[in-house]
Structure 1
Amino acid sequence: MKRNFVYLLVFALLVISAAEWIGFQTISIGSITISLLPLVFAILITMVLGMKFLRFGFMKKIYSKENVGFASKYLIFIMLPLMARYGADVAPELKEILHVGWVFVIQELGNLGTVLIGLPIALWLGLRREAIGATLGIGREGELAYISEKYTLESKEGRGVLSLYIIGTLFGALFFSIFAPILLDLGFRPEALAMAAGVGSSSMMTGASSTLVARLPEMENTILSYAAASQLLTSFLGTFTMIFLAAPLQQFMYKVIVRGDR
């Protein structure tokens, strides 16, 4: 295990160095400018190097089952300092955040979007009980815990939420890093986009808010504080929204759609 940890540490340092060397890049598509942070390149590098045909020698040791299990299990320790930073970002803008506090609460209803939109599409694509786990939320820790407790991860619902968790981990931050600046160019207010970034995933929120800050450095404090406040609120209120609103609504819609499909 000690040797595996050393391999992981060396690999992490190499990926970080490569991503920082590439640096912040922008791609212009018409009137839209897409901002790509070093975080995005770090994700892409690890994804590419993790492909099966490239896993030999040193790479095979890095992507061993032991290392992958170790990294997944202890990822939360990397996120803890980030969560502490979010709290520090909220404090300077607390008065302004409280002034629009009701907006933060209302936006929590957006958590129902995965059920209202995602469930019908998942069932249309042919999923059944897997759709319960895949569309309850964005497949982060809250949904993972709820599904695992109610159905177990070996169930069809468990496979659904695990699939979404893995997809979100691989592509979530990348998608948010690209999508946020596109919406900014389409005319959305940066405050609204910063609030929308707090979806309950630290990596996704960081990807979205960081690209917004890169585009609007003069609004850095506002963007980071709004995103952090939204993230903290989603982590708290989102759990109750999921249990008391999303889950019952999902069960009702599932029974209606599946019965109608018969």
Structure 2
Amino acid sequence: MKKKNGLYFLGFILVIIFIAEMIGIQSIPVGKVRISILPLVFAVLIGMVLGIPAFRKGVLKKVYAKENVDFAGKYLIFIMLPLMARYGADVAPKLKEILSVGWVFLFQELGNVGTVLIGLPIALLLGLKREAIGATLGLGREGELAYISEKYTLNSPEGRGVLSLYLIGTLFGAIFFSVFAPLLLSFGFDYRALAMSSGVGSASMMTAASSSLVAMMPENESVILSYAAASQLLTSFLGTYTMVFIAVPLQSFMYKLLTGGKKNDKTRAA
């Protein structure tokens, strides 16, 4: 990366973070449902809009220079590692709490393989090839991003798949969950079950879902937030093992079965 372009790149990132934090969490009422939009969503939106070729002029042209984009993709894993370490540090003091929440939280971890069972066939039908491996291993959050990055690198077809899902989840996931959770509540689902299901392994999605539930049932705020946090913690802890020991072998078997064992490019098999 050129030093001058790198400075522009760093300054651009800091400005986007500042603007997103100044905007803060915005809650939009839609009928009985409140859609919570987090600063993370605004940051991604600003970065995407300014990256449109028509806007890439002057300083922005230097910010979105190819070497900057390549650098960001190549070293994104180093940004994720501290987050992975924090998950581990959060889990250790609360192992007793995790073990006491019951088998219901453990049972929901089986849902992590749903992206493989349902998403992989659909992705292949839509024409994706090796990209489907990265896009359907899970929700494409930090755990999947770290795994795919380590095994294939983010510049591979698998890496493009998981990175695309990561960005889509960041942009639309929080909005979807902030609508979907209260919608199911209006259909008669138990708020505790919805709070538990909020912990899907994504902090932004969990916050959006639980905040929307709290907005509709403020009298149960402590229960909703505690169930959502416990579920999120458990998913972050067990989700990695579910991915490595269940989802990855299952995906490898299904990919070979659905593609007839043929390789679609020069990357190594799953």
TM superposition score category, shorter chain reference: 0.7 to 0.9
Q: Distance in 1 between matches of 2:133 and 2:63?
A: 30
What is the TM-score with the length of structure 1 in the denominator?
0.76
- How far the C-alpha of 1:154 sits from its partner, in A, is 2.8
Going by fraction, where is helix more abundant, 1 or 2? 1
Alignment deviations for residues 199-243 of structure 1 (CA, whole Å, 9 cap, x no partner): 111111111111111111111111111111111111111111111
**Would the alpha carbon gap of residues 15 and 149 (structure 1) be closer, same or farther in structure 2, given more than 3 Å must change?**
closer
Q: Distance in 1 between matches of 2:62 and 2:104?
A: 44
Percent of aligned pairs sharing the same letter: 54
Equivalent residue for 1:106?
A: 107
2:122 maps to amino acid: I
Equivalent residue for 2:226?
A: 225
- Between stretches 214-223 and 111-120, larger displacement belongs to 214-223
Equivalent residue for 1:166?
A: 167
1:34 maps to amino acid: V
Equivalent runs, 1:76-115 vs 2, <5 Å? 100-115=101-116
- How far the C-alpha of 1:17 sits from its partner, in A, is 3.8
Equivalent residue for 1:37?
A: 36
| Unmatched segments (≥5 aa) in structure 2 | 1-5, 263-270
Equivalent runs, 1:3-18 vs 2, <5 Å? 8-9=13-14, 11-18=16-23
Equivalent residue for 1:24?
A: 27
Q: Distance in 1 between matches of 2:191 and 2:162?
A: 31
What is the TM-score with the length of structure 2 in the denominator?
0.74
Contact 2:16 2:43 in 1 (8 A): no
2:145 maps to amino acid: L
| Unmatched segments (≥5 aa) in structure 1 | none
2:132 maps to amino acid: A
Q: Distance in 2 between matches of 1:200 and 1:42?
A: 20
Matched residue SS, 2:33: strand
Contact 2:115 2:136 in 1 (8 A): yes
1:241 maps to amino acid: T
Contact 2:38 2:208 in 1 (8 A): yes
Contact 1:115 1:246 in 2 (8 A): yes
Equivalent runs, 1:172-191 vs 2, <5 Å? 172-191=173-192
Q: Distance in 2 between matches of 1:209 and 1:113?
A: 22
- How far the C-alpha of 1:37 sits from its partner, in A, is 2.3
Equivalent residue for 2:250?
A: 249
- How far the C-alpha of 1:8 sits from its partner, in A, is 4.8
Contact 2:8 2:62 in 1 (8 A): no
Q: Distance in 2 between matches of 1:34 and 1:62?
A: 42
CA RMSD of aligned residues (A): 3.7
